[in-house]
Structure 1
Protein backbone atom coordinates (compact mmCIF):
# COMPACT_ATOMS: atom_id res chain seq x y z
CA UNK A 1 0.00 0.00 0.00
CA UNK A 2 1.29 3.43 -0.93
CA UNK A 3 0.16 6.67 0.65
CA UNK A 4 0.13 10.02 -1.08
CA UNK A 5 0.17 13.63 0.09
CA UNK A 6 -2.48 15.61 -1.78
CA UNK A 7 -2.33 19.33 -2.56
CA UNK A 8 -4.41 21.65 -4.72
CA UNK A 9 -2.37 22.64 -7.76
CA UNK A 10 -1.92 26.14 -9.15
CA UNK A 11 -3.04 26.22 -12.80
CA UNK A 12 -2.69 29.38 -14.88
CA UNK A 13 -6.36 29.67 -15.86
CA UNK A 14 -7.81 28.28 -12.63
CA UNK A 15 -9.75 30.23 -10.06
CA UNK A 16 -7.60 30.78 -6.98
CA UNK A 17 -9.47 31.30 -3.73
CA UNK A 18 -8.56 33.71 -0.97
CA UNK A 19 -9.06 33.24 2.76
CA UNK A 20 -11.48 30.91 4.48
CA UNK A 21 -15.05 32.23 4.88
CA UNK A 22 -15.25 35.32 7.12
CA UNK A 23 -18.07 33.73 9.09
CA UNK A 24 -17.93 30.34 10.75
CA UNK A 25 -14.81 28.68 12.17
CA UNK A 26 -11.58 30.61 12.61
CA UNK A 27 -8.92 29.75 10.01
CA UNK A 28 -6.72 27.73 12.37
CA UNK A 29 -9.55 25.35 13.20
CA UNK A 30 -9.58 23.97 9.67
CA UNK A 31 -6.24 22.33 10.45
CA UNK A 32 -7.17 20.67 13.74
CA UNK A 33 -9.10 17.62 12.53
CA UNK A 34 -12.10 18.56 14.66
CA UNK A 35 -15.76 18.75 13.71
CA UNK A 36 -16.71 22.17 12.35
CA UNK A 37 -20.16 21.78 10.84
CA UNK A 38 -21.95 23.06 13.94
CA UNK A 39 -19.95 26.30 13.72
CA UNK A 40 -20.88 26.92 10.09
CA UNK A 41 -23.82 29.12 9.12
CA UNK A 42 -25.76 28.68 5.88
CA UNK A 43 -24.02 27.96 2.60
CA UNK A 44 -25.03 31.41 1.34
CA UNK A 45 -22.98 32.97 4.15
CA UNK A 46 -20.00 30.62 3.78
CA UNK A 47 -18.37 32.41 0.86
CA UNK A 48 -14.91 32.07 -0.64
CA UNK A 49 -13.78 34.63 -3.21
CA UNK A 50 -11.62 34.51 -6.30
CA UNK A 51 -8.26 36.10 -5.49
CA UNK A 52 -7.82 39.54 -7.08
CA UNK A 53 -4.10 38.82 -7.47
CA UNK A 54 -5.05 36.27 -10.15
CA UNK A 55 -7.46 38.18 -12.41
CA UNK A 56 -7.11 35.67 -15.26
CA UNK A 57 -7.99 32.76 -12.99
CA UNK A 58 -11.65 31.97 -13.58
CA UNK A 59 -11.87 28.31 -14.59
CA UNK A 60 -13.33 25.93 -12.01
CA UNK A 61 -11.44 22.67 -11.65
CA UNK A 62 -12.64 19.82 -9.44
CA UNK A 63 -10.18 20.80 -6.71
CA UNK A 64 -9.39 24.50 -6.33
CA UNK A 65 -6.17 26.20 -5.35
CA UNK A 66 -6.41 28.46 -2.32
CA UNK A 67 -4.05 30.44 -0.13
CA UNK A 68 -4.52 28.06 2.81
CA UNK A 69 -3.91 24.80 0.88
CA UNK A 70 -7.21 23.40 2.11
CA UNK A 71 -8.89 20.76 -0.01
CA UNK A 72 -11.74 22.69 -1.63
CA UNK A 73 -13.51 20.28 -3.95
CA UNK A 74 -16.75 19.81 -5.84
CA UNK A 75 -19.46 17.17 -5.72
CA UNK A 76 -17.59 15.02 -8.26
CA UNK A 77 -14.80 14.54 -5.72
CA UNK A 78 -17.33 13.91 -2.97
CA UNK A 79 -18.99 11.22 -5.09
CA UNK A 80 -15.61 9.51 -5.62
CA UNK A 81 -14.92 9.44 -1.89
CA UNK A 82 -18.46 8.33 -1.07
CA UNK A 83 -18.14 5.55 -3.64
CA UNK A 84 -15.10 4.21 -1.81
CA UNK A 85 -16.86 4.36 1.54
CA UNK A 86 -14.56 7.07 2.85
CA UNK A 87 -15.81 7.99 6.31
CA UNK A 88 -14.93 10.60 8.92
CA UNK A 89 -14.87 13.50 6.46
CA UNK A 90 -17.02 16.60 6.83
CA UNK A 91 -18.12 18.33 3.64
CA UNK A 92 -18.64 21.99 4.48
CA UNK A 93 -20.72 23.58 1.72
CA UNK A 94 -19.51 26.93 0.45
CA UNK A 95 -20.50 29.53 -2.13
CA UNK A 96 -17.91 30.70 -4.64
CA UNK A 97 -17.85 34.37 -5.60
CA UNK A 98 -15.93 35.65 -8.62
CA UNK A 99 -13.77 38.77 -8.82
CA UNK A 100 -16.91 40.90 -9.05
CA UNK A 101 -18.30 39.21 -5.92
CA UNK A 102 -20.97 37.46 -8.01
CA UNK A 103 -22.10 33.94 -7.17
CA UNK A 104 -20.62 31.42 -9.61
CA UNK A 105 -21.10 28.06 -7.87
CA UNK A 106 -22.58 26.32 -4.86
CA UNK A 107 -21.20 22.92 -5.88
CA UNK A 108 -18.07 23.10 -3.72
CA UNK A 109 -17.09 22.04 -0.21
CA UNK A 110 -14.22 22.50 2.18
CA UNK A 111 -13.19 18.94 2.96
CA UNK A 112 -12.48 18.47 6.65
CA UNK A 113 -11.01 15.02 7.39
CA UNK A 114 -11.61 14.08 11.02
CA UNK A 115 -9.44 10.98 10.85
CA UNK A 116 -5.86 11.46 12.10
CA UNK A 117 -3.32 8.67 11.70
CA UNK A 118 0.19 8.14 13.10
CA UNK A 119 1.55 7.78 9.57
CA UNK A 120 4.81 9.62 10.28
CA UNK A 121 7.54 7.49 11.85
CA UNK A 122 8.72 9.97 14.45
CA UNK A 123 11.95 8.03 15.11
CA UNK A 124 13.11 7.69 11.51
CA UNK A 125 11.74 10.81 9.81
CA UNK A 126 13.63 14.11 9.61
CA UNK A 127 11.55 17.06 10.79
CA UNK A 128 11.33 20.15 12.99
CA UNK A 129 8.64 20.54 15.63
CA UNK A 130 6.48 23.66 15.77
CA UNK A 131 7.40 25.80 18.81
CA UNK A 132 4.01 27.52 18.64
CA UNK A 133 1.82 24.44 18.23
CA UNK A 134 2.77 21.80 20.74
CA UNK A 135 2.98 18.29 19.38
CA UNK A 136 2.83 19.36 15.72
CA UNK A 137 5.53 19.20 13.07
CA UNK A 138 6.37 22.57 11.50
CA UNK A 139 8.42 21.23 8.60
CA UNK A 140 9.55 17.86 7.36
CA UNK A 141 12.65 17.10 5.28
CA UNK A 142 12.35 13.36 4.85
CA UNK A 143 9.20 11.47 5.78
CA UNK A 144 9.34 7.80 6.68
CA UNK A 145 5.94 6.12 6.71
CA UNK A 146 4.99 3.96 9.68
CA UNK A 147 2.75 1.60 7.73
CA UNK A 148 1.73 -0.43 10.77
CA UNK A 149 0.25 2.63 12.49
CA UNK A 150 -2.24 3.50 9.74
CA UNK A 151 -5.68 1.94 10.11
CA UNK A 152 -6.73 -0.19 7.16
CA UNK A 153 -9.97 1.78 6.95
CA UNK A 154 -8.17 5.14 6.62
CA UNK A 155 -8.39 6.37 3.03
CA UNK A 156 -8.38 10.18 3.31
CA UNK A 157 -6.87 11.51 6.50
CA UNK A 158 -4.47 13.84 8.28
CA UNK A 159 -1.17 13.00 9.92
CA UNK A 160 -1.70 13.15 13.67
CA UNK A 161 1.59 15.03 14.09
CA UNK A 162 1.09 17.24 11.02
CA UNK A 163 -2.59 17.98 10.78
CA UNK A 164 -2.18 20.56 8.02
CA UNK A 165 -1.18 17.77 5.61
CA UNK A 166 -3.69 15.52 3.89
CA UNK A 167 -3.08 11.94 2.78
CA UNK A 168 -4.87 9.51 0.48
CA UNK A 169 -4.42 5.84 -0.33
CA UNK A 170 -3.70 4.15 -3.65
CA UNK A 171 -7.35 3.27 -4.19
CA UNK A 172 -8.41 6.91 -3.78
CA UNK A 173 -5.64 7.92 -6.20
CA UNK A 174 -6.89 5.38 -8.73
CA UNK A 175 -10.50 6.47 -8.29
CA UNK A 176 -9.53 10.10 -8.89
CA UNK A 177 -7.61 9.12 -12.01
CA UNK A 178 -10.49 7.01 -13.32
CA UNK A 179 -12.95 9.86 -12.74
CA UNK A 180 -10.49 12.33 -14.33
CA UNK A 181 -10.53 14.58 -11.28
CA UNK A 182 -8.64 17.81 -11.97
CA UNK A 183 -6.84 20.44 -9.93
CA UNK A 184 -4.57 18.47 -7.62
CA UNK A 185 -1.09 17.02 -7.36
CA UNK A 186 0.28 14.11 -5.38
CA UNK A 187 3.57 13.33 -3.69
CA UNK A 188 4.44 9.85 -2.47
CA UNK A 189 4.42 10.00 1.33
CA UNK A 190 7.46 7.74 1.71
CA UNK A 191 10.44 10.05 1.29
CA UNK A 192 8.33 13.22 1.02
CA UNK A 193 10.38 16.36 1.62
CA UNK A 194 7.49 18.41 2.99
CA UNK A 195 7.23 20.61 -0.09
CA UNK A 196 4.36 20.98 -2.55
CA UNK A 197 6.61 21.41 -5.60
Structure 2
Protein backbone atom coordinates (compact mmCIF):
# COMPACT_ATOMS: atom_id res chain seq x y z
CA UNK A 1 0.00 0.00 0.00
CA UNK A 2 1.57 3.31 -1.04
CA UNK A 3 2.41 5.70 1.74
CA UNK A 4 0.38 8.87 2.20
CA UNK A 5 2.17 11.85 0.63
CA UNK A 6 3.71 14.29 3.07
CA UNK A 7 2.07 17.68 3.08
CA UNK A 8 3.49 21.14 2.73
CA UNK A 9 7.08 22.08 1.99
CA UNK A 10 9.71 19.44 1.41
CA UNK A 11 12.91 19.82 3.42
CA UNK A 12 16.02 17.72 3.87
CA UNK A 13 17.10 16.57 7.33
CA UNK A 14 19.29 18.92 9.35
CA UNK A 15 22.39 17.89 11.25
CA UNK A 16 25.97 18.95 11.85
CA UNK A 17 28.79 18.83 9.37
CA UNK A 18 30.97 15.80 10.16
CA UNK A 19 33.99 16.70 12.25
CA UNK A 20 33.22 20.42 12.49
CA UNK A 21 30.38 20.90 14.94
CA UNK A 22 29.06 23.62 12.62
CA UNK A 23 25.29 23.37 12.14
CA UNK A 24 24.59 22.02 8.67
CA UNK A 25 21.54 23.81 7.24
CA UNK A 26 18.69 22.17 5.48
CA UNK A 27 17.94 23.00 1.88
CA UNK A 28 16.23 26.34 1.36
CA UNK A 29 12.50 26.09 1.95
CA UNK A 30 10.23 26.59 -0.99
CA UNK A 31 6.55 27.22 -1.36
CA UNK A 32 4.45 24.30 -2.52
CA UNK A 33 0.77 23.58 -3.02
CA UNK A 34 -0.86 21.55 -0.25
CA UNK A 35 -1.36 17.93 -1.18
CA UNK A 36 -3.54 15.34 0.46
CA UNK A 37 -2.11 14.17 3.78
CA UNK A 38 -3.04 12.26 6.89
CA UNK A 39 -5.46 14.11 9.16
CA UNK A 40 -2.98 14.44 12.02
CA UNK A 41 -0.20 15.78 9.77
CA UNK A 42 -2.55 18.28 8.16
CA UNK A 43 -3.69 19.61 11.52
CA UNK A 44 -0.09 19.95 12.71
CA UNK A 45 0.95 21.75 9.55
CA UNK A 46 -1.96 24.17 9.80
CA UNK A 47 -1.08 25.00 13.41
CA UNK A 48 2.49 26.00 12.56
CA UNK A 49 2.33 27.12 8.94
CA UNK A 50 2.51 30.85 9.73
CA UNK A 51 6.12 30.66 10.94
CA UNK A 52 9.53 29.28 10.03
CA UNK A 53 12.88 28.98 11.83
CA UNK A 54 15.81 31.10 10.66
CA UNK A 55 18.95 29.22 9.72
CA UNK A 56 22.00 30.02 7.60
CA UNK A 57 23.79 28.21 4.81
CA UNK A 58 27.23 28.63 3.32
CA UNK A 59 27.42 26.38 0.26
CA UNK A 60 30.92 26.11 -1.17
CA UNK A 61 31.86 29.80 -1.33
CA UNK A 62 30.29 31.71 1.55
CA UNK A 63 32.44 32.03 4.65
CA UNK A 64 31.74 30.22 7.91
CA UNK A 65 32.51 31.73 11.33
CA UNK A 66 33.60 30.37 14.69
CA UNK A 67 32.00 31.39 17.98
CA UNK A 68 31.37 34.92 19.23
CA UNK A 69 34.41 36.38 20.99
CA UNK A 70 34.97 39.07 23.64
CA UNK A 71 31.36 38.95 24.89
CA UNK A 72 30.89 37.85 28.52
CA UNK A 73 27.71 36.00 29.47
CA UNK A 74 26.81 35.60 25.82
CA UNK A 75 24.29 32.90 26.75
CA UNK A 76 21.99 35.80 27.68
CA UNK A 77 21.61 36.63 23.98
CA UNK A 78 19.69 33.38 23.52
CA UNK A 79 17.49 33.93 26.55
CA UNK A 80 15.75 37.18 25.72
CA UNK A 81 18.10 39.38 27.74
CA UNK A 82 18.82 42.83 26.33
CA UNK A 83 22.54 43.35 25.68
CA UNK A 84 22.47 46.57 23.67
CA UNK A 85 23.62 48.73 26.60
CA UNK A 86 27.36 48.36 27.07
CA UNK A 87 27.78 45.73 24.37
CA UNK A 88 31.55 45.26 23.85
CA UNK A 89 33.00 47.31 21.00
CA UNK A 90 35.46 44.53 20.22
CA UNK A 91 32.81 41.82 19.85
CA UNK A 92 33.68 39.72 16.84
CA UNK A 93 33.44 36.53 14.88
CA UNK A 94 36.38 34.99 13.03
CA UNK A 95 36.27 33.02 9.80
CA UNK A 96 36.70 29.32 10.51
CA UNK A 97 40.15 28.24 9.38
CA UNK A 98 38.81 24.80 8.52
CA UNK A 99 37.14 26.41 5.51
CA UNK A 100 40.01 28.48 4.05
CA UNK A 101 38.58 28.67 0.54
CA UNK A 102 35.19 29.98 1.68
CA UNK A 103 35.71 33.73 1.84
CA UNK A 104 32.66 35.32 0.20
CA UNK A 105 30.75 37.55 2.61
CA UNK A 106 27.11 36.49 3.08
CA UNK A 107 24.11 38.47 4.29
CA UNK A 108 23.34 35.76 6.85
CA UNK A 109 26.52 34.47 8.46
CA UNK A 110 26.63 30.79 9.38
CA UNK A 111 28.43 30.43 12.72
CA UNK A 112 29.26 27.95 15.44
CA UNK A 113 26.91 29.61 17.94
CA UNK A 114 23.92 29.17 15.66
CA UNK A 115 23.12 32.88 16.15
CA UNK A 116 21.34 34.97 13.55
CA UNK A 117 24.11 37.26 12.31
CA UNK A 118 23.26 39.58 9.42
CA UNK A 119 24.88 42.12 7.15
CA UNK A 120 24.11 45.83 7.41
CA UNK A 121 21.93 45.55 4.31
CA UNK A 122 19.81 42.74 5.73
CA UNK A 123 19.64 44.45 9.13
CA UNK A 124 18.22 47.58 7.50
CA UNK A 125 15.73 45.46 5.56
CA UNK A 126 14.43 43.87 8.76
CA UNK A 127 14.56 47.10 10.75
CA UNK A 128 12.42 48.86 8.13
CA UNK A 129 9.57 46.50 8.99
CA UNK A 130 9.72 47.60 12.64
CA UNK A 131 9.68 44.25 14.42
CA UNK A 132 8.97 44.83 18.09
CA UNK A 133 11.40 43.92 20.88
CA UNK A 134 14.39 43.19 18.65
CA UNK A 135 17.88 44.60 19.07
CA UNK A 136 20.85 44.48 16.72
CA UNK A 137 24.25 43.95 18.33
CA UNK A 138 27.20 45.13 16.21
CA UNK A 139 30.02 42.66 15.63
CA UNK A 140 33.10 42.57 13.43
CA UNK A 141 34.05 39.68 11.16
CA UNK A 142 37.76 38.83 11.00
CA UNK A 143 39.02 37.15 7.84
CA UNK A 144 41.59 34.38 7.37
CA UNK A 145 44.39 36.98 7.33
CA UNK A 146 43.35 38.18 10.79
CA UNK A 147 42.01 41.43 9.38
CA UNK A 148 38.60 43.03 9.66
CA UNK A 149 36.63 42.01 6.59
CA UNK A 150 35.41 45.59 6.21
CA UNK A 151 31.72 44.76 6.42
CA UNK A 152 29.59 45.45 9.50
CA UNK A 153 27.53 42.59 10.89
CA UNK A 154 24.89 42.48 13.61
CA UNK A 155 23.57 39.74 15.88
CA UNK A 156 19.78 39.80 15.67
CA UNK A 157 18.56 39.44 19.26
CA UNK A 158 14.78 38.97 19.66
CA UNK A 159 13.81 39.77 23.23
CA UNK A 160 10.34 38.20 23.11
CA UNK A 161 10.19 34.69 24.57
CA UNK A 162 6.86 33.06 23.73
CA UNK A 163 5.40 30.04 25.50
CA UNK A 164 3.99 28.58 22.28
CA UNK A 165 5.23 24.99 22.06
CA UNK A 166 2.44 22.42 22.20
CA UNK A 167 4.15 19.90 24.45
CA UNK A 168 1.44 17.29 23.93
CA UNK A 169 1.57 17.37 20.12
CA UNK A 170 5.35 17.85 19.88
CA UNK A 171 7.93 15.10 20.27
CA UNK A 172 10.55 16.69 22.53
CA UNK A 173 12.85 15.79 25.41
CA UNK A 174 13.94 18.24 28.07
CA UNK A 175 17.53 18.63 29.23
CA UNK A 176 18.14 16.43 32.27
CA UNK A 177 20.52 18.96 33.84
CA UNK A 178 18.55 22.10 32.98
CA UNK A 179 14.84 21.27 32.70
CA UNK A 180 14.10 24.76 31.39
CA UNK A 181 15.69 23.80 28.06
CA UNK A 182 14.67 21.34 25.38
CA UNK A 183 17.51 19.00 24.44
CA UNK A 184 15.96 16.96 21.63
CA UNK A 185 13.32 17.87 19.06
CA UNK A 186 11.87 15.16 16.85
CA UNK A 187 8.70 17.00 16.02
CA UNK A 188 7.77 20.60 16.83
CA UNK A 189 4.23 21.95 16.99
CA UNK A 190 3.19 25.46 18.00
CA UNK A 191 0.05 26.66 19.74
CA UNK A 192 -0.79 29.27 17.14
CA UNK A 193 -3.11 31.27 19.42
CA UNK A 194 -0.29 31.74 21.92
CA UNK A 195 1.68 33.85 19.43
CA UNK A 196 0.74 37.56 19.17
CA UNK A 197 -0.40 38.36 15.63
CA UNK A 198 1.95 41.32 15.26
CA UNK A 199 5.09 39.44 16.32
CA UNK A 200 7.61 39.12 13.49
CA UNK A 201 10.58 37.62 15.34
CA UNK A 202 10.78 35.71 18.62
CA UNK A 203 12.27 32.77 20.47
CA UNK A 204 10.09 29.89 21.67
CA UNK A 205 10.23 29.25 25.41
CA UNK A 206 12.49 26.28 26.26
CA UNK A 207 14.14 26.35 22.79
CA UNK A 208 16.86 28.98 23.00
CA UNK A 209 18.65 28.07 19.76
CA UNK A 210 15.67 28.82 17.54
CA UNK A 211 14.79 32.26 16.16
CA UNK A 212 11.30 32.07 14.70
CA UNK A 213 10.22 34.33 11.84
CA UNK A 214 6.70 35.09 10.67
CA UNK A 215 6.25 33.68 7.19
CA UNK A 216 5.49 36.96 5.43
CA UNK A 217 8.76 38.44 6.69
CA UNK A 218 10.64 35.29 5.67
CA UNK A 219 9.14 35.49 2.19
CA UNK A 220 10.08 39.16 1.91
CA UNK A 221 13.69 38.31 2.87
CA UNK A 222 13.74 35.49 0.32
CA UNK A 223 12.46 37.92 -2.31
CA UNK A 224 15.25 40.35 -1.46
CA UNK A 225 17.84 37.86 -2.75
CA UNK A 226 19.97 37.96 0.38
CA UNK A 227 22.78 35.42 0.45
CA UNK A 228 23.25 32.73 3.08
CA UNK A 229 19.63 32.87 4.26
CA UNK A 230 17.72 29.66 4.89
CA UNK A 231 14.42 28.94 6.63
CA UNK A 232 13.07 25.69 8.03
CA UNK A 233 9.44 24.72 8.43
CA UNK A 234 8.42 24.38 12.08
CA UNK A 235 7.46 20.71 11.74
CA UNK A 236 10.81 19.93 10.06
CA UNK A 237 12.96 21.60 12.71
CA UNK A 238 15.27 19.26 14.60
CA UNK A 239 17.50 19.95 17.61
- TM-score when normalising by structure 1: 0.90
**Farther-moved stretch of structure 1 (150-159 vs 178-187):** 178-187
Does 1:40 find its partner at 2:84? no
Distance across 1 between alignment mates of 2:106 and 2:65:
12
Which residue in 2 is equivalent to 1:89? Answer: 134
Q: Which has the larger radius of gyration?
A: 2
Q: How does 1:1-197 map to 2 (within 5 A)?
A: 2-21=50-69, 23-42=70-89, 45-189=90-234, 191-194=235-238
How far apart are residue 53 of structure 1 and its match? 0.7
Please list every run of 5 or more consecutive structure 2 residues that lacks an aligned counterpart in the other structure: 1-48
Q: Deviation per CA, 1:35-56: give whole Å up to 9, x if none.
A: 11234222xx112111111101
CA distance change for structure 1 residues 75 and 193 in 2, over 3 Å: closer, same or farther? closer
Consecutive aligned runs of 4 or more in structure 1 exceeding 4 Å deviation: none
Please list every run of 5 or more consecutive structure 1 residues that lacks an aligned counterpart in the other structure: none
CA distance change for structure 1 residues 93 and 193 in 2, over 3 Å: closer, same or farther? closer
Higher strand content, 1 or 2? 1
How far apart are residue 178 of structure 1 and its match? 2.2
Distance across 2 between alignment mates of 1:177 and 1:193:
19
Distance across 1 between alignment mates of 2:58 and 2:223:
21
Q: How many residues align?
A: 191
Contact kept in structure 2, 1:143 and 1:193, CA below 8 Å: yes
Contact kept in structure 1, 2:80 and 2:158, CA below 8 Å: yes
Contact kept in structure 2, 1:93 and 1:106, CA below 8 Å: no
State the SS of the aligned residue for 1:127.
strand
State the SS of the aligned residue for 1:79.
helix
- Aligned residues: CA RMSD: 1.5
- TM-score when normalising by structure 2: 0.75
How far apart are residue 157 of structure 1 and its match? 0.9
Contact kept in structure 1, 2:53 and 2:237, CA below 8 Å: no
